[in-house]
A and B are shown apart, each in its own frame.
Chain A
């Protein structure tokens, strides 16, 4: 899916958000929101798209990942594990599943923070800004 780099707010120097969700509309909405607020970000829908970003991932500081990336696809947990193997970044999962869903159980704890959809926009922006 590629990446998108936008004009960076001075206060956001060094910030780079990776958005990964299998829902194209949601990624597009998050992208519009971050663009409007000058938050640099890159987008992907699957683990293979994340891997395709290659060296563009080197400056990523926070990853916002959907837990379930669709049927027969590696999950957001797989993306988190792959990212963590490269370098330590903050990982926040967003999910529509119940807390006792196996993927959500796997996502919580050592892999990252878990937020239930719908996440308030204000909170989303704070996470993206690294607060």
Chain B
């Protein structure tokens, strides 16, 4: 289950980092503010490099990413937006070209909800960027009041609520998938144990029957060489079964406690041979 969670979180983080890289590269090429405002160009370029680095690391580092590491990588890739989204708006404020200053924040909140690797990092970044938007709106409103700022901070909060709801839905679906995967893994393990028990039963029962009759004969005073050699051969066959068990220990992820429970259930359901007589 953890493996599935790790893989999914790493993939999502890679996707987020790749998208952020693309957004910053597009800004560098298409956004005129990047061409005229050096600080913004440097910020976007650095952000693209950081996000690209995260994306490459998510793909190339040859080790499983823990959920915590994925969260950290997502925060690293996302946090530079704090600067990258502040600078252009303050630049617009100075040039008097501010039209929809909070639009980027609103898209970002929804984007975080879609690509955050976990509820923990997603909700944290939504909270951070909502606060960031509210503070920015206050600053911008103090500088040059704009009609689009009149609806703040409520409009941003509505986006934040939508983003949280979207993130929560994703988290619920992810947890359900994990539970299903865990249930499937358990079912496979139980089926494997069941097959192992059935195979043991098939191989052990015939020599057990020989032992049953041979011991009965011995109890009746028959100690002939034939009976003793049958006993020896039956024992050898049971030893062979035992060696087969040792050679093939069964599922590698078998939890001993679960095996104990399964064996106990198996023994409890085994009936008296005489009662197994069926018409």
Please list the residues of chain A having a beta carbon within 8 angstroms of any beta carbon in chain B: 23, 25-26, 28-30, 32-33, 36, 94-98, 108, 113-121, 123-124
The CA-CA distance from A29 to B222 in the complex, in Å, is: 12
Pairwise interchain contact A116-B273, C-beta atoms closer than 8 A = yes
Residues 166-209 (chain B) with a chain A CB within 8 angstroms:
198, 201-206, 208-209
Closest chain B residue to A114, Cβ basis: B278
Checking A30, A36, A123 against B273 with a beta-carbon cut-off of 8 angstroms, the contacting residue is A123
Pairwise interchain contact B210-A25, C-beta atoms closer than 8 A = yes
Pairwise interchain contact B276-A23, C-beta atoms closer than 8 A = no
| B220: interface (CB < 8 Å) | yes
Please list the residues of chain B having a beta carbon within 8 angstroms of any beta carbon in chain A: 198, 201-206, 208-214, 216-217, 220, 222, 224, 226-227, 230, 233-234, 273-274, 276-279
Pairwise interchain contact B273-A115, C-beta atoms closer than 8 A = yes
Most buried by B among A94, A95, A121: A121
Checking B205, B217, B274, B279 against A32 with a beta-carbon cut-off of 8 angstroms, the contacting residue is B217
Pairwise interchain contact A114-B213, C-beta atoms closer than 8 A = no
How far, in Å, is B35 (CB) from chain A's closest CB?
Answer: 75
Pairwise interchain contact B273-A118, C-beta atoms closer than 8 A = yes
Q: Which 4 pairs of residues, A with B, have the shortest CB-CB distance? A: A96-B205, A121-B216, A117-B205, A118-B209
Pairwise interchain contact B276-A96, C-beta atoms closer than 8 A = no
- Chain B positions within 8 Å of A30 at CB level: 213
The CA-CA distance from A123 to B211 in the complex, in Å, is: 15
- Chain A positions within 8 Å of B212 at CB level: 118-121
The CA-CA distance from A23 to B230 in the complex, in Å, is: 11
- Chain A positions within 8 Å of B234 at CB level: 25
- Chain A positions within 8 Å of B277 at CB level: 113-115, 123
Pairwise interchain contact B273-A120, C-beta atoms closer than 8 A = yes
